[in-house]
A and B are shown apart, each in its own frame.
Chain A
Amino acid sequence: MQKIGVFVCWCGSNIAATVDVKAVAEAARKVPGVVFSADYQYMCSEAGQGLIKDAIKEHGLTGVVVCSCSPRMHEATFRKAVQAVGLNPYMLEVANIREQCSWVHKDMATATEKAIALMQAAVAKVTLNTPLTAGTTPVTKRALVIGGGIAGMQTALDIADAGYEVDIVEAKPTIGGKMAQLDKTFPTLDCSSCIVTPKMVEVGQHEKIHIYSYSEVTQIKGFVGNFNVTIKRKARYVDEAKCTGCGACTEKCPSRKAPNEFNMGLNNRTAVYIPFAQAVPKVATIDPEYCIKLTKGKCGACAKICEAGAINYEAKDEYIEVEYGAIVAATGFEMIDVSPYDEYAYTQSPDVVTSLEYERLMNAAGPTGGHLLRPSDGKEPKTIVFIQCVGSRESCSSGEMRGKPYCSKVCCMYTAKHAMLTKDHYPDTDIYVFYIDVRTPGKNFDEFYRRAVEQYGVHYIKGAVGKVTPEGGKLKVQASDLILNEQLHIDADMVVLAGAIEPNKSARPLATMLTASMDTNDFFTEAHPKLRPVESPTAGVFLSGMCQGPKDIPETVAQAGAAASKVIGLLAKDHLVGNPCVAHSDEWMCNGCSQCETVCPYGAITYEEKEFRMPDRTTKVRRVAQVNPAVCQGCGACTVTCPSGAMDLNGFSNAEIMAEVDALCR
């Protein structure tokens, strides 16, 4: 039998002026289970808390109800107070008789009556409360960053600088990501390589960072503080430890037909290759699809030339398991496939290129050595048409959609950059940019765009291109100028398509492994759009860079740092103290239907086959739900979806809430 004490606060006159606090305390004494009640001017004061503590000791109270201000105000205060004298903090309930009673009602009789009802509901609830203890789980002090682009590198560096071990898993043979492929960056026009390659080196050399390049995450188990991750190390056929990155093998390799990914397939590379000169790790990789030895069994040229003996044709995919405390998704983006846009003739003419291809054509390390030459005939283009919003901002009403409904955010700015850089090198080039809107919210962004128009004389035309027709070595561009209200026909030498960006294809399966939620566009969802923008709703999973939504480099770096600080905050703890108000499943009642698993936003529920000793002395294997209290956040979605009521929520149990309902309906 519970012994409950009720403490009614006056809150000065805040409560006492409208609620007859004496009457509430008096009424409390009549409630079964209540053995003590008192009223006091300020319950939250030292003296008020003392009153509560003394009563607990004196009357051996097992539960306490404080009738005062909102529990959002002082619940924690009173919990601490009762805990100080040995009562479980969850054996306390607050009846909100200020915000939801004295402050909103004017008539004393009415307010007092309601206060008594609220007190009775709180007593009804606390009578059913059970002591709760928050569980603790140890934290593995190691972080995993998935993706080695600028987002992943920055996150890893920031975490590592704080003194924690970080692993980067990168699918490509080198880290660096898309930024390494860029020529210059807007709006400062500084060289992209010049800022990203030192970062790559820093990452490569950091003693706390380990890079798993040419690797993928294949399985994630566990939960915040205790993830168990399986990493697949794809067979590289070159021993990373032995390879010196001298590049001799790449010179000798007779297979030279593999498309060079780094140059967007604009030229070819050898089957054994180092993606680019500043690659980190600077280690060769054999492309098994093109290697003659691996496909036909003969050759072995690279093995012969390699002085380090690093070549190993027998290599197999390896799987390693590593424990982590936190995981950061930094899977980045890709440009959409623009070939469905037949009207832009991307598949019909090599001179129609994507922006990223154009980036490589401008780059000194690119296929043309930095000379802007048309891919078809190697001549300098005189007229270039840039088309904006290819696949961005498309309507999503129909089922079949070529593009994306969102604005890709960076295209306006990089197109201005392309136009300016082109004009810089080849001032007599005619450049047309067809735009729907030019979006330049950012520091020095609009100034940058205006420079392209005013200083460089780039023709910005409000309107879209209707079609591009390759004809007689030219690209006939038909477009509308919405300002002059005329249709334009331009004979262009090159057309550059600013394709929409989309999340990397690996993000969706990763999200499934992480039980992290995604939006319909496959961008990771943040835990709160305003207040928790770098956290995933899944505890211990953080978001960095484009995988969360389109953003430019400075924003990416900022988010990377923010994600890192969240990770550091987590890893700095030795133990995670959970919220004890979590769901729990009564295994004897659970029928294993998995409905709860499907509604849990945190992936806190798993199913286990467990052996049960039945009352008739037989054993039975049953599939039952298990809640991981470290992951559960206590929303209660599962409790309602459970038909048998096997799933219940600590602190807000079915019985407790129903007792409140009963008390309030009296």
Chain B
Amino acid sequence: MQMNDKEWKPKIIAFCCNWCSYSGADLAGTNRLSYPAEVKIIRVPCSCRVNPMFILRAFQQGADGVILCGCHPGDCHYSTGNYHTRRRMTLLFSMLNYLGVESARTRVEWVSAAEGARFVSVMDSFVADITKLGPNRRLEDLRCKTN
């Protein structure tokens, strides 16, 4: 059953590091700054905990966009975690793009604990990008979805 375009809302998974970005998202809440409800946050200790398999899994299960948020480079709670994230995700995203997956479906953003407003603007723009792209067709698992 395909939903028509009007009904369709993107599914967004946001992996947020516990120390910066998850707090940044909390701050957005504390300041009552609104962002699209399609964004669902998963808390991880550090952005470097995010395994490429998690990202692919999200797409498999029907996510339309996956975003990773971590501390700004240099501010990692574990000192070097986000540097690993930066390299790993650059390489992974490049590979996904190479396989023809739209590059806008994946993103890494650095959001500090003080950047509630930035968290919101990042999510707004990401959701807008994904909405423009439409449903994820190139990396989904169609099983169990056709009836």
Contact = CB atoms under 8 A, between A and B. Distances in A.
Q: Do chains A and B touch in the complex (CB under 8 A)?
A: yes
B138 interface: no
A601 interface: yes
B103 interface: no
The CB with the most chain A CB atoms within 10 A, among B25, B32, B63, B79, is that of B79
A96 B41 contact: yes
Contact of A517 (B33, B40, B58, B80): B80
B29 A649 contact: no
Contacts of A657: 42, 44, 49, 51, 54
Interface in B15-34: 18, 22-23, 25-26, 28-30, 32-34
Contacts of B30: 99, 103
A525 B57 CA distance: 36
Contact of A635 (B35, B37, B81): B81
Interface stretch (A108-116, A221-229, A400-408): A108-116
Interface in B63-118: 63, 74, 77-81, 84, 88
B54 A658 contact: yes
Contacts of A98: 29
A599 interface: yes
B84 A637 contact: yes
A619 B37 CA distance: 55
Contacts of A117: 40
B25 A103 contact: no
A661 B54 contact: yes
A130 to B, nearest CB: 17
A189 B27 CA distance: 50
Contact of A665 (B50, B53, B58): B58
Contacts of B62: 665-666
B127 interface: no
Nearest to B16: A100
Q: Say whether chain B's binding surface is mostly helix, strand, loop, or mixed.
A: mixed
A660 interface: yes
A635 B49 contact: yes
Contact of B40 (A72, A121, A527, A640): A121
A517 B57 CA distance: 34
Contact of B61 (A110, A517, A640, A662): A662
A665 B50 CA distance: 16
A100 B49 contact: no
B130 interface: no
Contacts of B44: 636, 652, 657
Contacts of A114: 37, 40
A639 B50 CA distance: 9
Given A657-B42, A661-B13, A601 B61 contact: no
Contact of B37 (A105, A641, A658): A105
Contacts of A49: none
Interface in A338-370: none
Contacts of B80: 517, 537, 599, 601, 637
A635 B48 contact: yes
B45 interface: yes
A110 B45 contact: no
B79 A105 contact: no
B119 to A, nearest CB: 10
Given A527-B79, A637-B78, A662-B57, A110 B37 contact: yes
B49 A111 contact: no
A640 B28 contact: no
A298 B135 CA distance: 90
A525 B74 CA distance: 11
B137 interface: no
A664 interface: yes
A104 B13 contact: no
B23 A640 contact: no
25 contacts: A70-B29, A98-B29, A99-B25, A99-B30, A101-B29, A103-B30, A110-B37, A113-B37, A529-B74, A537-B80, A581-B45, A601-B79, A634-B45, A635-B77, A636-B48, A637-B81, A641-B84, A649-B45, A657-B42, A657-B49, A662-B61, A664-B11, A664-B40, A664-B42, A664-B58
Interface of A: 70-72, 96, 98-101, 103-107, 110-111, 113-114, 117-118, 121, 517, 525, 527-529, 537, 581, 599, 601, 633-637, 639-641, 649, 652, 654, 657-658, 660-662, 664-666
Given A117-B40, A635-B81, A652-B45, 8 more contacts: A70-B22, A99-B30, A100-B25, A601-B78, A657-B44, A664-B40, A665-B62, A666-B62
Interface of B: 11, 13, 18, 22-23, 25-26, 28-30, 32-35, 37, 40-46, 48-54, 57-58, 61-63, 74, 77-81, 84, 88, 120
Which 7 residue pairs of A and B lie closest in terms of their CB atoms, listed nearest first?
A99-B29, A636-B49, A665-B61, A635-B78, A103-B29, A99-B26, A635-B46
